[in-house]
Structures are given as structure tokens and as C-alpha cells.
Amino acid sequence: MKAQTTNDRAAGRVLRCMLAAILVATAVFAGFSSRADVAYAADESLSDATWEEVKGEIEGLMGTPYVWGGKDTSGWDCSGFVGWVIANVYGLGWPGGSPGNCGTDAIAQFCGSHEVFRGSSAGDYNSAFDAGTVKPGDVIVFSNSSGATVHCAIAGEGATVYHAWYEGFGTGNCRFDYMWGINGGHGKAYASFVVYRGLSEGGHITLDKTSADVAVTDGNEEYTLAGAVYGVYQGGELVAQFTTDEAGHGQTSEKLPSGDYTVREISAPDGYALSQEEFAVTISGEDAHVDAADAPVTVDLTLVKKDAETLLPDPQGGASLDGAEYEATYLYGGEQVTVAGVVENSELVFEGIPLGTVTIKETKAPEGYLPDPQAHEITVTADMAGSESAVFEYEVADELTEQVVRGDLELVKVSEGDQARMAGIPFSITSAATGESHVIVTDSNGYASTAASWNPHTADTNGGTSESGVWFGGGDPDDGLGALPYDTYIVEEQPCEANSDRELIPAFEVSVYRDGATVDLGTLTNADKPHVSLSKTDIATGEELPGATLQVIDPGGNVVEEWVSSDEPHEIVLDEGSYTLHEEIAPEGYLVANDVEFEVVSGQVAQKVTMEDDYTKVDFEKIDAGTGDLLLGASMQLLDESGNVVAEWVSGDEPHRIEKLEPGSYTLHEASAPEGYDLAADIEFEIGSVGEVQTVSMADAASAVPEGKGEPFDKTGVDLAPLAAATAVVAAAGLGCLAIAMRRARKKDEEYLEGTEGGEER
């Protein structure tokens, strides 16, 4: 019976050991729970809040009764008050995990990683406060002489503390050195204290803006650093904004809590482009500064040269708007500077000109135009330029017009034998540059003229009679000007009843190059045999095409003449009859044209035969395989039969056209696909010998998303390594207790048996 009792006692001891182990484990878990709460605190302080933000709330809690063990505003003790502030004012959660577990030890553990000061006297505290080591909003935990925590408080201004002291004091504010030597009851006898950083001090964000190009902005009133608006963002949310002054300085009006922020420009000041730069700023208890430089808006000033009559950027006749020379004078680097340029393709661009007034002056007129003596002042203001781009495109056109040189022609037509004046003989006048052609007709005296003094330009303009006026070029006829713009003209007698029995005057050229002058062509008599002008031209531009090997073949198949085309028509003399113009070899990049048959007619002084050469045109399309839409950003290559790269490009929002490729086999290869797409397989294709547009399409498929891929997730909770270690300790302790209890029970049994065997009960 006693052996059974002994066993029961041993089992009780085991149970008590296991219960102790469970309590140890509970404490360990409670410790880890408290540490988890700390994970929500700021890096350098318990809370990101500032004293200015929480002071009113803390002072609103003054007067709350002191209740031992109380944890809410109906009444609390020291740890209840501090725990309430930490959880509900600082916004962090209860030390210890809940109000019931919040004591001075839990508060010390919760704040442990934010310790800033230790002291053992009121003098220590006052000195630390005066030095700025202790700050309003810090948490203070007091210990007695044995090291046990016995009281806690919140640091106030002027070396004071906010605390729930004892029943007679309640919750209030007093100086630290006043309460230090007074025992507040409930074991509140102080020997030392620890201060933990409670709040973020925060700071202002300041910014100083400068011009990224002082030479552009110096002394220029169109540029100002005042008025730039900057936004301060945290977590993508706008939390503050400020505006710069004339010096380019700005700062937030209020302090911001310590933390990480992003500063970026919302609105640029006058004359500057809106900056896309973002500034990462960290406030850590003091002001943070940003230096920013905005790019000043400059002007790309495009001068468009126009004809004064047509108001178009196209020259008249054989004149040219190209070659005009201009000077631009403007403020740069605080002084006036002058730069020069030459018009090309009817345009001249002055780049990088500061905002303000620019004086434009022509220093040399282009060929075939009269000089422009006027100085043109162009003003571009900051309001006009805006702030969307650092470069403002501004075009000057209608101010820069010039009058083309104009002149006239006159002639007399007579018969060769008797020198009789020939009336009613038409002569065509054709512009060599434009092909524009009109007819003048001789009067009864064999005289014809284009001058307005003979027939006003405005009278039956280009009517083709001896009384009709003539006008070449654009614009309305002006009787104060010559009929013919600067050009070379082809004058050609046309067949009519009056000259049907005579040889015609061969075509000849005459130039108009002096303004207001009339060119006298003299007396024109009989012409030579017919001349044929053979032109090889580009089908697209109509311009003469050099490099073609051409032949004229008669009706018997004989080659009458062979030559290589140049930039001028080929002139030959032919007898009356039928002929064929044949292209033996086309210029590089062009297709051989079909034969052209033509007739040489008796009595026609000159005629013109034109053969047009076409060329291959291939459009390359990179498309999305799913939508069929054009796909941007693919690096493409065109390879010939030998694998040589013929062309490279990056796909855009229009098909990529390549012209004048030799017919044959090619490969379209994708070197790199746009992001999110797979490379397409090469495409082999043929380019035919046709002038029509040929299209080659390559489709890219969107890249597949691998299965099983998900969003990464953050690890939460506590580190399990310490927990595993603690669990192991608990298990070992329990097993140890069990072993000891069993040995003791076995020893008792042995003693009992020995006593029984000796005949004596123990």
C-alpha cells in the first residue's frame, strides 16, 4: 500500500514538473508575442508620430483616476496609462499583447530596442533632458534597488513627466525631480530609470532649385525660379506640397514625421520644363534637403522660306528657296549673340535659342529671288512654350516670304525665203523646271511677246491667241510683274496651217534671270530636221535617271543609237518613221522598263519621248499574333541569299518600307523580340520584279506565363529557431523531473522490501 502511495507521490511530482514546463513555455510564447508587437514600431522610435501630434491627446488624459490594476480611461495604474498611450495614442498595440498583460516589465520589454538613456538620479534626468537626449514623448521605466521595475511614465516638456502616480495624485504632470524622492505607494521607491525613444521628431523637407543651364536663363526675364510646386509623397500618397520663391527655395510648412519620402515636381516655374526626376528623402529627426535643377525651355526656331506670290514653301520656275542665308540674334549668357544658318529644303532651324525676342535677318537671297531687306523680330514667351517639354518647336513662315525674279520674252517670225512676216504662228513656252507650258501667237506683224505692256497678263490669261496675256507660276496674274519666273524655258514652234508647208523652228532654250527684263529672241526663221529628246526618268519623281543603257531601234530591228542615260535628256536627230526605245540595262535598284514605241512626224521640230523606270517596294510588318496589330520594338534584319545583312531596323507603328531591292530570295529575321513576346521563326520569301508594293508580315506570339508562378509573400510571425530551442529545454526539463521521481520511488520500494524481510515495518 505504501509502495502505491509512493508511486502516487512520484506521479504528482512529475505532473508538477510538467506544469512548470508548461508555464515556462507559456512565458516564452508570451515573450515572443510581445516581440511581435515591437515589429510594428518605427526603426528609430516607437512611433512615427511627432510630439506636436500627440501632445494634445496625452494632456486630454490628465485627471483620469488612479486605480490599481486599471487599464482604461475609467481608471488605471501607471502601466495602464502608459500602455494606453502606446496602444491608442502612439498607435502601436498593447505591450504584452493585451491590456491584461500590460505591466511595467511588459512595457520595458516592448520598448527595449529603443533605449536612449539610463540614469539613477533626478540630476541625471535633468541633464539628459537639457542635452536633448531625453525628449517629450519618450517612455520612462523606473526600477527599485533590487532591479525590479516599479513605475513607468511619459516624458513631457520642461523635464516633466506624465504618469498615473497613486490614488491621491491620479493621472497628472509634474517635474521629474519632484516625484523622484517621493514613494508613490505600491512599491514605488526608485533607484534607477531607463528612457526609451517614444516619438519621431520629424523635420521639414527643404529644396533649392537652380537652372540646369545658366547661360540660357541668365538675365532673361522669361525664366523665373519662383512658383515651382513640389509634392511630397509617402507610399504613393501626397502628404505635403510647397512652392519655391524667387531664389528657388522652398520647404514644407509643417514638420513631417521621420521616415522615407519621395519629392517630385508637380508644376514647373515659368520658362522651365517640368522635371520627371524623383528625389528619395529620409527624415530622421531633422530637416532633409534636396537640390534640384530644372532644364530651361529652349526654342527650336524653324524658319520656313515661302514664295511671296503663292505663300507656299515651294519655289517657282527654276528658282530655289534653298541657299538663303540668315542670321539670328538673341540673348544668351547675359549678352546678345548672333548665329548664322543656310536654308535647306525650304527650312532653316536655329536650335537651343532661349525664350524671348529673336531678330531674324536675311543676309543672302536664294537663287532666283529678290533679297528680303526686312529684319524680323520673333518673340516666344514662357506662356507660349509651356512646360511639357524642354524643347519648344516654333515655326516662322509667313513673315519670311520673297518675291521671285520675273521677266519676259519677245520674238519675230518670218519666212526664210522672202522674209515675210508670219502671222498666227504659235510658239509654246515650257518651263524646264516645272513643265508648265503656255502658248504665245504672233500678230499680223509676226511679233509675239509675254510682256504685260503688249498684252496684259490679266487679259484672257493663257488663252492661246495673239491677244491673250501670259502668266507662269502660282498666285494671281500681276500686270506689274514679268510673266515668267526665274527659270530656263524651252521655246518651240508649233505646227499650224500657216506653217504646214515649212520646216519648223527647232526647240531652243532661253533663260530668265534678271528681274523686270525682256529677253529678245530675235527673228526666227526655218528650222532643221526634227530632233527627238529621249528621257529616262524615275517613275516616282519624274526626274532624269542616270545609268540606264538605252537603245533606239528602227522598224527593221537595227540599233540606231545606244547610250547611257545621264541627268539630261538625250538628244538625237531622226528621220520620219516608227521607232522603239529599248532599255537594255536598268540602273541599280530599278526594274527594266517595257519598250516605248514612238513616231517621228515630219514638220515637227522637236519631240520628247519619256521612258519611266519603276523599282521594287517592300513593306515589312511586325504584328501581334493574337490581335494582328502592329508591334513596336522588335529588332529586325533582312538577309540576302548569302546570309548577309541587307538592312536592320526596329519595328514601329508603321510598316517598314525598303525600296530598290534586287529581285530574288531573302530572309526576314527577328534579332530580338519586344518585351513580353517570343522570337518569331525566320521567314524566307521572294521579291518579284514588279513595281507594286509587296508586303511581308511576321507575327510575334506573347510569351507564356509559367504555371505555378505566384506572387511572393512576406514572412510573418516570429523566428521559430528560438521557439524550437525553448521547446527542447522544456522537454528536457520534464524528462529530467520524471527520471528523478522514478529513482526516488524505486529507492522507497527497495527500502520497504528490506524492512519487510527483516520482520520490521518502516
pLDDT of residue 708: 52
Residue 186 CB contacts under 8 Å (≥ 6 apart), including other chains: 68, 77, 150, 166
Instruction: For 245-287, write each residue's pLDDT tens digit.
Output: 999 999 999 888 778 999 999 999 999 999 999 999 998 767 8
Residue 187 has pLDDT above 80, yes or no: no
Report the distance separating Cα 621 and Cα 696, nearest Å: 6
The class of domain 617-700 in CATH terms is: mainly beta
Residue 700 has pLDDT above 80, yes or no: yes
pLDDT of residue 292: 96
Residue 23 has pLDDT above 60, yes or no: no
Q: Which helix (H) or strand (E) holds 721?
A: helix 720-757
Closest to 29 measured CA to CA, from 714, 735, 715, 717: 717
Counting DSSP H helices and E strands in the chain, the numbers are: 9, 46
Residue 111 has pLDDT above 80, yes or no: yes
pLDDT of residue 576: 83
Residue 741 has pLDDT above 50, yes or no: no
pLDDT of residue 19: 38
What is the CA angle 417-419-425, rounded to 5? 100
Residue 99 per-residue DSSP state: G
For the chain, give the percent of residues with pLDDT over 70: 85
Report the distance separating Cα 282 and Cα 270, nearest Å: 29
Cα-Cα-Cα-Cα torsion 66, 72, 77, 79, nearest 10 degrees, comes to -150
pLDDT of residue 256: 87
Instruction: For 286-325, write each residue's pLDDT tens digit.
Output: 789 999 999 999 999 999 999 999 999 999 999 999 999 9
166-175 mean pLDDT: 93
542-547 mean pLDDT: 93
Residue 511 has pLDDT above 50, yes or no: yes
SS3 state at 23? helix
The 10 Å Cβ neighbour count of residue 507 is: 21
Q: Do domains 45-196 and 406-524 have the same CATH topology?
A: no
Q: Where are the domains of the chain?
A: 1-33+718-762, 45-196, 205-294, 298-402, 406-524, 531-613, 617-700
- Give me the architecture of the 45-196 domain, per CATH: Alpha-Beta Complex (3.90)
198-218 mean pLDDT: 92
Report the DSSP beta bridge partners of residue 522. none
pLDDT of residue 744: 53
Superfamily of domain 205-294: Immunoglobulins (2.60.40.10)
Residue 339 has pLDDT above 80, yes or no: yes
CB 611 within 8 A of CB 550: yes
Choosing among 1.20.1440.230, 2.60.40.10, 3.40.50.10190, 1.10.540.10, the CATH entry for 298-402 is: 2.60.40.10
Residue 531 has pLDDT above 80, yes or no: no
Question: Left if phi > 0, otherwise alpha if psi is -120 to 50, otherwise beta: which for 347?
Answer: beta
* CATH fold group of domain 406-524: Immunoglobulin-like (2.60.40)
145-164 mean pLDDT: 96
Report the distance separating Cα 348 and Cα 322, nearest Å: 9
668-689 mean pLDDT: 95
Q: Which strand ranges, in their side-by-side order, compose the sheet holding 559-564?
A: 559-564, 549-553, 577-585, 596-600
Report the distance separating Cα 60 and Cα 47, nearest Å: 19
- Single-letter amino acid, residue 680: A
Residue 50 CB contacts under 8 Å (≥ 6 apart), including other chains: 137, 199, 200, 201, 202, 255, 257
Which residue has 527594266 as its cell numbers? Answer: 592
- Single-letter amino acid, residue 189: A
Instruction: For 358-405, write each residue's pLDDT tens digit.
Output: 999 999 999 999 999 999 999 999 999 999 999 999 999 888 899 999
Grid coordinates given for 265 = 515636381
Report the distance separating Cα 218 and Cα 335, nearest Å: 9
Instruction: For 585-595, write each residue's pLDDT tens digit.
Output: 999 889 999 99
pLDDT of residue 95: 96
Residue 442 has pLDDT above 90, yes or no: yes
Report the distance separating Cα 686 and Cα 688, nearest Å: 6
The 10 Å Cβ neighbour count of residue 559 is: 11
Q: Give the lowest-confidence range in 18-32, 209-223, 522-536.
A: 18-32
The class of domain 531-613 in CATH terms is: mainly beta
Residue 152 CB contacts under 8 Å (≥ 6 apart), including other chains: 78, 79, 82, 104, 107, 108, 139, 140, 141, 142, 163
pLDDT of residue 505: 86
Report the distance separating Cα 405 and Cα 515, nearest Å: 5
Q: Give the lowest-confidence range in 34-48, 124-138, 308-322.
A: 34-48
pLDDT of residue 193: 97
